[in-house]
Structure 1
Amino acid sequence: MSGEISKLIGERGEAIAKYIFEEIFGYENNLSGNEIMCLNGEEHKRSAAKKERTTHGIDGLIGNISQLSNRVLDIGYISVKKTEKIGYNKTDLRKHISDISQGLECFNKSKVLSDFKRRYSNIRSSEVLGILVWISDKDDIYDSIQNYIKDISITSSLTNTIIILDNRRLSFFIETVLQDKKIYKKEKVKFVYHNSGLNPSIQSYYGEKLPFFYLYSNIIAVRIEDNDNVFLKIYYSEEFQENVFRGMMDLAIDYDKLDSLDKIIFSFRNYQKSKHERMIDEILIEYNSYIKTSKIEILGHIQTLKNL
């Protein structure tokens, strides 16, 4: 019975992750439930119930041409974990990170990876990112596992980059990008791609797929079409800070060099009009010579009495 319950919880977690990657991040049909052969079963057996591991499961695999580096293929190796009766804890964190890092070690030498890269042409190199999606029903939707990471020691060597999408991070995407896709329609909201100077062949400065660097960035920019108007909306995942707002203003100026935007919207998780409005007005006066501050609007991710 416990095995059936665990399987059901796992399936619910994968369904949530599938929705997030498709509806928010723009990656269609990414969850496949594939397996790869374990190439180091003896060393990896510690996370396989005391017996030598033979395979690693892949809950999802996504790819996208990098928007930061020219002719680089970004590949996401996805592992999904969901808990319903227990919350975030160090023991499970250590286990989940070890599991995905061991899977990545074998994935990087697998036929699945080489076959996946063949789908893309004119690529000079690839970079693999491990994406651990860990959802906890018991914890608050704004809870983060960052408090546990500093004390965690991992037994297997971490030779790959791993990003963890927890309740807090996923809630940020849901309250911002997903909300606006529902308001303006999915096809009208596009992610803005930065010009890094290393991507001269970039064909478009916005698109439907979330660039991988946005997975761990506190600032996300989107382009929104609303009838004949074009908006730039920049979300910040943490609390309002004066220096961060100045940086977001500089970013907006860079995007609006031709004065082509009808509105620029800044969205903060904890924006309170009575608390932040005076500081914002003072900063906007400083920027008045560089951008039309009359088209700037400040919002909270979610409308409340405090930010109307």
Structure 2
Amino acid sequence: MGELSRKIGEKGEKLVCEFLSIIGWEDFQDDESISCHSPVNHKRPSAKKDRTTHGIDAFFSSRSQLQDFTLENIIMSVKYTNSAYPANPSTKFKEHLKDLAETVECFMKSDLRAQNNDDYEMSGINGANDTGVLFWLSNHKESDQDIVSKVCNINLDKSLSFSTIHVVDNSRAAFIYNSINYIRNNFSEYDYYFHYAFSSSNYKDPDIEKYGSILPVEYLTSNIMPFRLINKSNQKVSFCLTSREEFSEETINRLLYLASDVSQDFTGEFIFLFPEYDVLEHEPILKRAKRLKSDKRKSLNIIVKSYSNDFRNLINE
């Protein structure tokens, strides 16, 4: 059993490492250990002694592209199993979340955080977010892959001290992986980048880019993934949105509005990717949406496709 657990753990580590590379979180630190600052409160239920340390499976830090003058410290926990997700996942989820929340709490007082923040001291950054990411992944393909929807409304322990924790399950990981993989395989003549949305939170920092290779942590739990595709030969730009929601009249109208709003200054070329798109069933809906969205000021070129793949294939890459 010990050997099996070790192999499962190694697969989980490799999968997440490949996944982090795909989303631009390269040069991350792994297997970090930090001191526990609440030995009694953070003591494991089954442990005889007070807690002394917390393990961090992966740590990544970069300048936020969505908040002015802000450093994003990302503390990751990887939970990977060969079994199906629990039918009633609340108890196990609370265990995983509590463990990560306590790690984030002690990270905020750690030497790792202090040293990392010092590294950015001369870059104009004046604040930092300490964000947790829980990768709860299963190798079991037959069980329900969307575990987050089952735990999103549970009551959490009010004693936990953390700002934000993003949860990535099979369904969420598959959406991100399939989106990127489809673009890489089907638009090879383009360089692709994550589009960084501008708002009242990120318009003052001159070092914030409009697009780049690093996925903002906030996008991990978004149902829409925005990309800029730049043609390698002529630098022509297309704006791509991938949707976790199924194709419908409401969804395509919403994406058309969003795409035309955020990209009006750099392109009229739109690509929309959905989990499923059936030409026979959906093309009449698309034609109606395109007709109603017709922009008299410029020509709009709209392409709709379907993506499909399986993020578990990362293990074999």
TM-score (norm: length of structure 2): 0.86
Q: Distance in 2 between matches of 1:187 and 1:41?
A: 52
> How far apart are 1:275 and its partner, in Å?
2.6
Q: Pairwise mapping of residues 134-173 of structure 1 onto structure 2 (< 5 A)? A: 134-140=136-142, 143-145=145-147, 146-151=149-154, 153-154=156-157, 156-173=159-176
**Residues 236 and 36 (structure 1), Cα distance of their counterparts in 2 relative to 1, 3 Å cut:** same
Q: 1:239 aligns with which of 239, 246, 251?
A: 246
8 Å Cα contact 2:268-2:300 kept in structure 1: no
Residue 306 of structure 1: aligned partner:
none
Which deviates the most, 35-44 or 262-271? 262-271
**Residues 183 and 267 (structure 1), Cα distance of their counterparts in 2 relative to 1, 3 Å cut:** closer
Q: Distance in 1 between matches of 2:297 and 2:224?
A: 20
8 Å Cα contact 1:45-1:53 kept in structure 2: yes
Number of residue pairs aligned between Structure 1 and Structure 2: 300
Q: Distance in 2 between matches of 1:60 and 1:105?
A: 16
Q: 1:199 aligns with which of 197, 202, 211?
A: 202
- Percentage identity across aligned positions? 29
Q: Distance in 2 between matches of 1:301 and 1:291?
A: 31
> How far apart are 1:196 and its partner, in Å?
0.8
Residue 223 of structure 1: aligned partner:
228
Amino acid at match of 1:137: N
Unaligned runs of at least 5 residues, structure 2: 310-317
Q: Distance in 2 between matches of 1:48 and 1:35?
A: 20
Q: 1:295 aligns with which of 290, 295, 301?
A: 301
Residue 263 of structure 1: aligned partner:
269
> How far apart are 1:31 and its partner, in Å?
3.9
Q: 2:126 aligns with which of 124, 127, 130?
A: 124
1:186-232 deviation digits (Å, cap 9, x = unpaired): 98110001111332224421101011221111111111123324221
Which deviates the most, 37-46 or 196-205? 196-205
Unaligned runs of at least 5 residues, structure 1: 304-308
1:239-287 deviation digits (Å, cap 9, x = unpaired): 22433322221222134324x4363101111222233222221121111
Q: 1:175 aligns with which of 174, 178, 190?
A: 178
**Residues 96 and 291 (structure 1), Cα distance of their counterparts in 2 relative to 1, 3 Å cut:** farther
Which deviates the most, 115-124 or 181-190? 181-190
**Residues 20 and 91 (structure 1), Cα distance of their counterparts in 2 relative to 1, 3 Å cut:** same
**Residues 48 and 63 (structure 1), Cα distance of their counterparts in 2 relative to 1, 3 Å cut:** farther
> How far apart are 1:46 and its partner, in Å?
3.0
Which deviates the most, 150-159 or 94-103? 150-159
Q: 2:67 aligns with which of 57, 69, 72?
A: 69
> How far apart are 1:139 and its partner, in Å?
4.2
Residue 115 of structure 1: aligned partner:
115
**Partner-residue secondary structure (3-state), 1:240:** coil
> How far apart are 1:160 and its partner, in Å?
2.4
**Residues 4 and 40 (structure 1), Cα distance of their counterparts in 2 relative to 1, 3 Å cut:** farther
8 Å Cα contact 2:75-2:130 kept in structure 1: yes
Q: Pairwise mapping of residues 93-108 of structure 1 onto structure 2 (< 5 A)? A: 93-108=93-108
Q: Distance in 2 between matches of 1:53 and 1:156?
A: 17
Amino acid at match of 2:243: Y
> How far apart are 1:290 and its partner, in Å?
5.4
8 Å Cα contact 2:85-2:143 kept in structure 1: no
**Partner-residue secondary structure (3-state), 1:288:** coil
**Residues 50 and 300 (structure 1), Cα distance of their counterparts in 2 relative to 1, 3 Å cut:** farther
Q: Answer 1 or 2: higher relative contact order, Cα 8 Å, separation at least 6.
A: 2
Residue 284 of structure 1: aligned partner:
290
**Partner-residue secondary structure (3-state), 2:134:** strand
8 Å Cα contact 1:142-1:171 kept in structure 2: no
1:12-60 deviation digits (Å, cap 9, x = unpaired): 21111111011x2101121421100111111111356343211110111
> How far apart are 1:147 and its partner, in Å?
1.0
**Residues 25 and 80 (structure 1), Cα distance of their counterparts in 2 relative to 1, 3 Å cut:** same
Residue 83 of structure 2: aligned partner:
85
Amino acid at match of 2:224: I
Q: Distance in 1 between matches of 2:46 and 2:5?
A: 16
> How far apart are 1:142 and its partner, in Å?
6.6
Residue 280 of structure 2: aligned partner:
274
> How far apart are 1:61 and its partner, in Å?
1.0
